[in-house]
């Protein structure tokens, strides 16, 4: 049978799984599947300090799973679709429950950043 991730060895796979084996980071990835997010939105969603959020995002970025883009005073994070393990990650995330509700809540609180 064809191996669809020839570069995904045990070492790399376990690193990725460890990274996603944290509830906050896993949910960040699921959220980013539907919307880009800035740091302050994550701070509003998770019950955690801003530095805590930034540190989780840094780990995801270091692993190549997300990208950051500054837009004005905000830094937006998005999935890195060019990541070589994207197929693995997608296959994993598709098993998780949709989190769009979180964005609806944000909107309701007026905390959604649109940033023209």
**Which residues contact a copy of itself (rule: CB under 8 A)?**
1, 3-5, 8-11, 13-23, 26-27, 30, 87-88, 91-92, 95-98
Nearer to DNA (CB atom), residue 72 or residue 87: 72
Report the distance separating Cα 27 and Cα 78, nearest Å. 13
Query: Which partner, DNA, a copy of itself, none, binds residue 68 by CB below 5 to 8 Å per kind?
Result: DNA
Judged by CB under 7 A, the chain residues 2 through 41 that form the site for DNA are 18, 21-24, 38-40
Q: Is 60:66 a contact under the CB 8 Å cutoff? A: yes
Cβ distance to DNA smaller for residue 13 or 58: 58
CB of 111 to DNA, least distance (A): 9
CA distance 41 to 87: 27
The partner in contact with residue 20, picked from DNA, a copy of itself, none with C-beta cut-offs of 5 to 8 angstroms by kind, is a copy of itself
- 110 conformational bin, left if phi > 0, alpha if psi -120 to 50, beta if neither: left
Residue 107 touching DNA (CB under 7 A): no
Among 59, 37, 5, 57, which residue's Cα sits nearest to residue 113?
37
Q: Of a copy of itself, DNA, none, which one sits near residue 58, judging by CB under 5 to 8 A according to partner kind?
A: DNA
Q: Is 32:77 a contact under the CB 8 Å cutoff?
A: yes
């Amino acid at each position: 049978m064809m191996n669809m991730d020839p570069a995904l060895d045990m070492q790399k796979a376990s690193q990725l799984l460890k990274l996603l084996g944290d509830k906050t980071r896993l949910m960040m990835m699921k959220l980013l599947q539907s919307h880009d997010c800035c740091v302050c939105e994550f701070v509003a969603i998770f019950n955690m300090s801003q530095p805590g959020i930034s540190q989780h995002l840094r780990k995801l970025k270091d692993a190549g799973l997300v990208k950051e883009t500054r837009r004005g005073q905000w830094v937006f994070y998005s999935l890195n679709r060019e990541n070589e393990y994207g197929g693995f990650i997608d296959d994993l995330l598709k098993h998780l429950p949709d989190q769009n509700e979180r964005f609806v809540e944000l909107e309701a609180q007026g905390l959604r950043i649109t940033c023209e």
